[in-house]
A and B are shown apart, each in its own frame.
Chain A
Amino acid sequence: MTAVWRTANLLTKSWPDGVVVYNQDSGNTHLLTPIAGQVLKLLADAPADAPTVARRLAGQIDLDSDLELDYNVASLLNHLDSLGLIESVIA
């Protein structure tokens, strides 16, 4: 089974130094990197698994889609999950 990720109940605001995210369920606020904000936006547009997120991100920021990117995206998703900003839906 592959975990498909979707965003929690969030409000976001982007600035050049990062993205501020407010979790409406927990009341917590986080400052994330612009890349993390981009990943959240991808998941807000459409829930996806890690490889799909990596592929879409690579297309957006002109990166080669490779194993290193897959690994970094998977780590980032785990981090966002630990912050309660995304949640998995078993596909």
Chain B
Amino acid sequence: MKIAVSATGKGLDSQVERRFGRCPNFVIVELDDKSMKIKGIEDVGNTATAQMGGAGITASQLVADMGVKAVITGNMGPRAFQVFSQLGIEVYQGAGTVKEVAEKYAKGGLERMAEATGPMHPGMRGSR
């Protein structure tokens, strides 16, 4: 099975990006269905980073098209969250490296998001 992690860069050692819709990169991690060990990864550049509005929707389309079962991110706005809940894709909150959160997820150690954790356009505010 595949999961998507919003990341600051490429590969398993990059950090989980707090923003979902405007993260630079998604790391798609493939977990073995039986052992839940990391089998492989694929980096998917986020095409929505510079979008005026609706970045969360574009990013969620991108991620959903990869056929993932779950998404791990720092925060998620209401629009992207609506898309994933309607598509039946689970959203988890995580921090650390991509590898750490993927392994945590495999062991059932991540907290599932019950609702959007941020307002719209959090990635567009001037100061962070």
Same complex origin of A and B: no
